[in-house]
Amino acid sequence: MGRGRGIMSEQFKEELAKELGFYDKVKQNGWGEITANEAGSMVKRAVQIAEESLKRDRT
């Protein structure tokens, strides 16, 4: 995958950052300023959302 192309949409990433409490940092400084822990939290939450969605779709 080339640099600058991601799996998550910009809107989804912004929603996750808001939910996790560091959107202001992203808004002010860009995505390059988030910590590895914050990025990991985003991925973990995205996986949780995907799993919940799959679970709902199966019922």
pLDDT at residue 16 in the model: 97
Q: How is the chain split into domains, by residue range? A: 10-58
The DSSP annotation for 32-55 comes to GGS-HHHHHHHHHHHHHHHHHHHH
Which 8-state DSSP code applies to residue 56? H
Query: Looking at residues 9-24, what average pLDDT do you find?
Result: 96
Assessment of whether the complete model's pTM goes beyond 0.85? no
* Degrees, nearest 5: CA angle 10-13-19: 145
Q: Distance between CA atoms of 11 and 41, rounded to whole angstroms? A: 16
Residues with Cβ within 8 Å of 6's Cβ and at least 6 positions away in sequence, in order, are 13
pLDDT at residue 4 in the model: 59
**pLDDT tens string 22-39:** 999 999 999 999 999 999
